[in-house]
Structure 1
């Protein structure tokens, strides 16, 4: 396995990341949850990971993004709650602790985007990400 150090001296195992992406997109549960909860896509740029969730039925105030160790937990529930609607939730497991990275999010036109920096450090704590 090849390791490359980025600007912040974090070890990133690219073979592990490649395997993680392959497993995520080939997992049959990913398609099932895309249809029953909400659709998620994961993109990579040179500087960040972008998790995109399609949440057309919700307002920004009805969405929560929580970072826990190496997980992003996205949940959405209508307000006011009604008996026929349940909370929709998706969890994305990353191959390294993303709570140590800078994470931000935006919500526009029914699309939530969560940005996980590859180079900028975060607090190192589990936390909710505030939507603007």
Structure 2
């Protein structure tokens, strides 16, 4: 379900269903764990790579879907997260930390010309 306008109650219900879905845990195990947090001004996606050796990460945005492709010495792992609304014009800020990728998606700030693809090298 995709809407152009963000509805906080819809997102809360949708997020609850995301975490209750048994498929989410299966995908966490098969690829990498993805956690989602909601804050007053933004959403935070946390991709945890833990014991996986990741060399570079590509993040792409397509309407309401954010895709993370993590490439390493053992191959590539891909994971998508679909919001119930478009995120194409949001301010999106990726940040690498030890064994994790943090992606901040703004709620209120709309930024025209936000990149749709980021390529990050893991130190």
| TM-score category (smaller protein) | 0.7 to 0.9
Equivalent residue for 1:38, pick from 32, 40, 44: 32
Name which one, 1 or 2, has greater alpha-carbon Rg: 1
TM-align CA RMSD: 2.1
Would you say how many aligned residue pairs link Structure 1 and Structure 2?
Answer: 117
Kindly indicate whether the alpha-carbon contact (under 8 Å) linking 1:103 and 1:116 is maintained by their aligned counterparts in 2: yes
Moved segments of 4+, more than 4 Å? none
TM norm structure 1: 0.79
85-94 or 66-75, which deviates more: 85-94
Structure 2 stretches lacking a partner, 5+ long: none
**Superposed counterparts of 1:86-105, under 5 Å:** 86-105=75-94
TM norm structure 2: 0.84
Structure 1 stretches lacking a partner, 5+ long: 1-9, 80-84
Structure having the higher strand fraction is: 2
Higher relative contact order (CA 8 A, sep 6+): 2
